[in-house]
Structure 1
Amino acid sequence: MKMKNLKRIAAFSEGNTGGNPAGVMIGEEFPLDEDMQATAKEVGYSETCFLVPFEDGWRIRYFSPETEVPFCGHATIAAGAALGQRNVSGACRLYLNDRQIDIEIQHHVPDRISVALQSPETWTRQAPKGYTEQVLRHFNFTTDHLDPLYPPMIAYGGSKHLVLVVKDMRVLQNAAYEFEPVRALMKEQGLATISVVYIESLKRVCARNFFASGGVYEDAATGAAAAALAGYLRDLDWGGARSFEISQGVDMGYPSRIFVDYGETKGESVRVAGSTRFIV
């Protein structure tokens, strides 16, 4: 499959550095499914997305190197930047496989594009009994390292994430896991990532998102997980700000900044925003 139309864009970048790269291809019609999957594998990023014109907006599909995924936040932000490069600005509608979302594209001088998305609905629920302990057998920390104020939960913001809040920043920085056993456990519950989080303050959260289910060890910035985390904190009535920043990717050498804003109504959409930078 020809890749001359492929854009490589880092979402949630910090100035001219960092961010999570995604591939973006815009065309008049989708390639064959097997060709989109092969392209995602060849590009090698955690996600590559494909867009075609549809009704009053754009139809979008997302592929990791191993499989199609229902939603990807950072690839959505990257898609917005690619549309912005085509002089699209303001509100824009994206049609996913099973729902629609809205994004907002803003142009800044010089040549800087920021994008905000409104996530799908959010929810949280208890992980199956014993599941967290099973997962942590393959990590280098245990349930004793988790913050008792923030129980392990499965959270949704367009895809499912296991949220684990640790009580020590050093645990987050040194977190590591065994890839194959964790991937199998994630697929068992349909998880997109395992989101390991440290609450630095009531306005700033540090996160790492592990993405074995998609064939990638770790994501540098994860918009869907950011929406899920916001929904999780809202459901817990955590007492923090409804607008806060997530720092991610630092331990990978790709510092990323995700800005989250949510309303007080449980389950409603979360606004997730960030800057972008073009790689190619």
Structure 2
Amino acid sequence: MIIQRIAAFTDGSRGGNPAGVVICEALPDPTAMQAIAAEIGYSETAFAAPDGDTWRVRYFAPEAEVDFCGHATIALGAALARQQGSGRFALRLNHADITVEGLHSATEWSAAFSSPPTRTRALSAAAAEEILALFGLTHDDLDERIPPVIAHAGMDHPVIALRERSRLAAIAYDFGRGQELAQRERFCTFALVHAETSELFHARNPFPFGGVYEDPATGAAAAALAGYLRELSWTAAVPIVIRQGEDMGVPCSLQVDLDGPRGAPVRVSGSVRSIQPGA
């Protein structure tokens, strides 16, 4: 079994969120996959095996399986392009069928996925208050243009939009308290965002559900946010750019298309780079 380590959503030749990628003839049993993901230690590892004309894919964080992970899908698409040649690959997840396009050439290595269908639902007042308290926020910190909701694109992400970039940069939280809340409510990440312009967002994604304090780039949350913005008729511009990881010293860039009808999948793309063993 070969474990590839690939950083997804890089900012040129730097940054990117590390993911493990394991491409094999048949998926190991879940206990083995969980142990491998814990040993790798990245926020997610994608396991893929051929299944007819598709690839069966499962994602594991260090402490739990997740149904969908965007940055690991980008890493997987890039790995498949390097192994199989550039093209589109059909993926069968636990609860959705999606596609990923991988590009591998002498000058470019990147991927783009089409997300699971998007949707939103109300965030209860009690849960909203608990999230604000967790991150030391008040209602005065919120951007009224983007009210708090639970946005979904394969997993649930409560979206909390902040008026000030400086407030986003100062975010910190108690991990144990956040993990209890995330696991109780089944929140994959907390999507904390700031709209610098209609086309440029900054994001932070705490991920205590999976045993990770914060993810430097989160494609699933980016897709969920894009689906919500489309419901709000946010902008006709295609695509938007989400900058993430800068407050962690790991700059990342995600590109997201908002075109398509309400609830349709969204396209999320980014560049990748290999991570050398021990890095």
CA distance in 2, matches of 1:181, 1:155: 22
Q: Are the counterparts in 1 of residues 255 and 268 from structure 2 also a CA contact under 8 Å? A: yes
What residue in structure 2 maps to residue 245 of structure 1? 241
Q: How far is 1:254 from its partner?
A: 1.0
Residues in 1 aligned to 2:257 and 2:235: alpha-carbon distance in whole angstroms: 14
Instruction: State whether residues 75 and 272 of structure 2, in contact with CA within 8 Å, keep that contact through their aligned partners in structure 1.
Output: yes
Aligned-partner SS, 2:262: coil
The answer on 1:147 being equivalent to 2:143 is yes
What secondary structure is seen at the aligned counterpart in 1 of 2:273?
A: strand
Paired with 1:100 and 1:54, the residues of 2 have a C-alpha distance of 13
Query: Corresponding residue for 1:11?
Result: 8
Give the corresponding residue for 1:82.
79
Residue 103, structure 1, aligned to residue 135, structure 2: no
Which of residues 48, 51, 67 is equivalent to 2:48? 51
Whether contact under 8 Å (2:164, 2:194) holds in the other structure is: yes
- Of residues 193, 199, 203, the one that matches 2:195 is 199
What is residue 70 of structure 2 aligned with on the other side? 73
Which among 13, 16, 21 is matched to residue 24 of structure 1?
A: 21
Residue 86 of structure 1, CA deviation: 0.6
Which moved further from structure 2: 84-93 or 157-166? 84-93
1:62 has 2:29 as partner: no
CA RMSD of aligned residues (A): 1.2
SS of match in other structure, 1:8:
strand
- Contact residue 154 and residue 160 of structure 1 kept, 8 A: yes
Structure 2's unaligned 5+ residue stretches are none
Given candidates 194, 208, 230, the residue that maps to 1:234 is: 230
Q: What CA distance in whole angstroms lies between the structure 2 residues aligned with 1:107 and 1:31?
A: 27
Q: Write the letter of the residue equivalent to 2:143.
A: D
User: Which shows bigger deviation, 98-107 or 164-173?
Assistant: 98-107
SS at match of 1:71: coil
SS of the counterpart of 1:86? helix
Cα distance in 2 between the residues matched to 1:180 and 1:242: 38
Structure 1 CA distance for aligned equivalents of residues 129 and 209 of structure 2: 18
Percent identity over the alignment? 47
Secondary structure at the residue paired with 1:268? coil
- Worse-matched range after superposition: 261-270 or 231-240: 231-240
Q: Which ranges of 4 or more aligned residues in structure 1 deviate by more than 3 Å?
A: none
Deviation at 1:87, TM superposition (A): 3.2
- Alignment equivalent of 2:132, drawn from 133, 136, 154: 136
TM-score after normalising by structure 2: 0.96
Q: Is the 8 A contact 2:78 2:104 kept in 1?
A: no
> Is the counterpart of residue 262 in structure 1 residue 262 in structure 2?
no
Q: 1:240: Cα distance to partner?
A: 5.3
Residue 57 of structure 1: how far off its partner (Å)? 2.1
Write the deviation string for residues 212-245 of structure 1: whole angstroms up to 9, x where unpaired. Answer: 1110000010000000000111111223523110
| 2:88 paired residue among 82, 88, 91 | 91
Whole-angstrom distance in 2 between the partners of 1:195 and 1:114: 24
User: In structure 2, how many angstroms separate the alpha carbons of the residues matched to 1:99 and 1:152?
Assistant: 25
Aligned mates of 2:90, 2:246 — CA distance in 1: 31
Q: State the one-letter code of the partner of 1:203.
A: E
Give the letter aligned to residue 141 of structure 2: H
Partners of 1:208 and 1:179 lie apart in 2 by 15
**Alpha-carbon deviation of 1:203?**
1.1
Give a deviation string over 1:49-80, Cα, whole Å, max 9, x none.
11111111211100000111100000000001
